[in-house]
Amino acid sequence: MKKVFTGMAALLLLAVIAQFYLAAGGAFDTAPNEESFQPHRMLGNAILVFAFVVTIAAAIARMPGRLIGLSGLVAGLAIVQSVIREIAKSLGDGTSASGLIFGLHAINGLVILGVIGMIVRQSQRISWTPVDLARTSS
């Protein structure tokens, strides 16, 4: 189950990388904001749900408490992403205050990326024992 958790965490990492791609695509699209950021928004919602699933998988796999906590942190930070978006939207599109708040959205996304990277790296160390590594190298 630990290897399954590691695989799920790696998929979450790939989804967050894809999220940055979709954000850039939406930013440079000529379509209206609501339309151009729709794929970014949909993947963000999927990332939120999947982050909760990954947290549950970490607990089921009996990963160390630190990894379970970090997985929960990713889910919490994904919720913060939605809160940041709503605050910026309430300030009005195109205002300087809205732009500053949306900057926090990008920084929070980078934090999410970093935390998931730590989760993947640590879970690989835990789930791939020296015996597993010896089998794969021969």
CB-CB contact of 11 with 116 (8 Å): no
pLDDT given for residue 29 in this prediction: 78
CA distance 21 to 37: 11
Mean pLDDT of 101-127: 95
Give the type of residue at 115. V
Tokens representing 76? Answer: 């919490």
Given a cut of 60, whether residue 48 has pLDDT beyond it is yes
Q: According to the model, what pLDDT value does residue 133 have? A: 57
Segment 26-44, tens digit of pLDDT? 878 777 777 888 999 999 9
pTM given for the model: 0.86
Cα 63 to Cα 118: distance, rounded to the nearest angstrom: 14
The pLDDT tens digits of the residues spanning 60-81 come to 999 999 999 999 999 999 999 9
